Structure 1
């Protein structure tokens, strides 16, 4: 799961300071996963300028395909342009319609709910790339009035995926990595 545009400091804080209260309150489920030790948070650093494509290159290797893994991707169509023919199933959405802060994520969630859960076992590596938070950041910045509600939506996405797939996915015995590369300013 890639949540494009989610600064680690919104979830983990920064320099020994906790995240702002409004950000913690916007993501109660995610915070509970961290508190209970069901999730581990970390800060990863990347040099500027940051854009999505180099992060994707850093997170995935075509070696997965060479060892016989079946790859499925839903979300940012940059994956399809970067790795043509790599995915056995895919549904890409455009990352350039930045005014869409809701439907772009809802499409990924809907496709996942309708298809991917039913297809568990037919894939080895699943990529879900959500763009809405990144679009909020580009439209209004971190202090946008849309930020806290969008963080709440992201928290619900994490909760939905956590409660509906991880306990039933025997393929990885419950070991799953949800990752967001972090750059120095938090926004790609």
Structure 2
């Protein structure tokens, strides 16, 4: 069972540049996203990853979440069918269900340079929660089923993000289950 370990450099918007497989740098204007190299197997009880906001960029429009293989990577997480996202510029959750234009629901605090945002998909309870700087923000999404890829997106020029899929200690020390 392969788990996500890095960003997939061949499965991203052309607006993103990547230097290490873990760090993403956004240079150009326009919405963009990148998917992990492997989906999270639903056989996992839970899967947690964290994203360090190295630089918020020009306007701190950053989305952290997960998506299906067919989700469009030229939009932010949560703004295309099969994707879910927590956005740093407004603290809202986005989930596109295919009816009209997606609108965000208030969820948590804004995030920016220096923050670490975690995302946990729990396949035992079919829920998702996020963390900010190691603090659990509560259930974000329910009834999650299927195979998903971790993803990040941005509309913020010069934004820089680095993911931790478990190769180093997480800021969140709580139970992901």
TM-score (norm 2): 0.31
Comparing both chains, which one has the higher relative contact order based on Cα–Cα distances under 8 Å and sequence gaps of 6 or more?
1
Question: Comparing both structures, which one devotes a greater share of its residues to helix?
Answer: 1
